[in-house]
Amino acid sequence: MTILPESDSIWDLVILGGGPAGLSCAIYSCRGRLSTLLLERMLPGGQVVLNDVIENYPGFPEGLQGFELADRMRLQAQKFGARIEAAEVVGIEVFARPFRILVTGGESRLGRALLIATGSRPRRLGVPGEQEFLARGVSYCATCDGPLFADKRVMVVGGGDTALEEALFLANVASKVTLVHRRDQLRGVRILQERALAHPKIEFLWSHVVSEILGDESVRAARVRQVVTGEERELPVEGIFIAVGTAPTSDFLPADIRLDDAGFVKTDADLMTSVKGIFAAGDVRAGAYRQIAFSVGDGALAYRSIFRYLEEEAVTAMPSEPRGNGSQLWPKR
């Protein structure tokens, strides 16, 4: 075990990611008197802040904006003592204890336990023109960029909850919304399907995929292909919103932390990864159901497992080991 300089701050728990899972765990861990540092490269809340209206989170029958829910979670975590830092994690050193978390700028943070709650990011189509016209007609967030397409023709690609929510939001501002789906039926929840199918400004292009995005200075059209016949044609649009699922934010993790074939973090029933003392929760975890309520539950379960882990480690800790900031588990020097 590496003995670190006394000047180094060692946190009981360092949480990587400030989405619902990370913030939920921070609330519980601070109430459990664990010194807790949360690192988030963007605004706390993760992809929650991109939701225009959230209607399925318990306790808010009237619905609320994603940013408002995320901000309430942040305030609650900070109220109980969580420290939130804006930092992007670029690596983790797992061969010594405490763990060292590397962040941009050559700095690092130290933690006796880690929670990986880095969530996921929008999956890309991987077609010609997608990268070229990013922010010039191609977007992954209707709430962010939709107002730029007032009274214009736009396209949404996908057939799940996110795609339907994007289409419904855009229908309030755009002149026409074409939803392109590779299957012949939608995958989203029934209430969203009913709203989208009934909306006069939303049309559906079934059994099609986008094969290329075309434009000059900005997007002007999309080439679509019928998946059965292979027939291709161009559709004139000025904005394309891609909602075809998510990819885990796990590319910075060392090989010691096992991932599944899609890059999601594997855990046991207690949410511990293949490295003892490192846990995962929320959208980045393999097998997780990607809904806000489930991520919040993941964060609570992760706290319980982390607290037990730290208790077990404290039993065998050396009396001379540095004590964390405010920790009740670890002895003073």
Residues designated as active site? 141, 144-145
Kindly state the tokens that stand for 326: 């405010």
Distance CA 70, CA 92 (A): 26
The answer for residues whose C-beta is within 8 angstroms of residue 92's C-beta and 6 or more apart is: 99, 100, 101, 102, 114, 252, 253, 254, 257, 278
Structure tokens at 214: 């075309």
Q: 3-class SS at 278?
A: strand
Residue 287 and residue 272 in contact, taking contact as beta carbons nearer than 8 Å: no
Instruction: Specify the residue for token string 């699922």.
Output: 245
CB 267 within 8 A of CB 309: no
Q: How many other C-beta atoms can be found within 10 angstroms of the C-beta atom of residue 162?
A: 26
Helix, strand, coil percentages (3-state) for the chain, rounded to 5, are 25, 30, 45
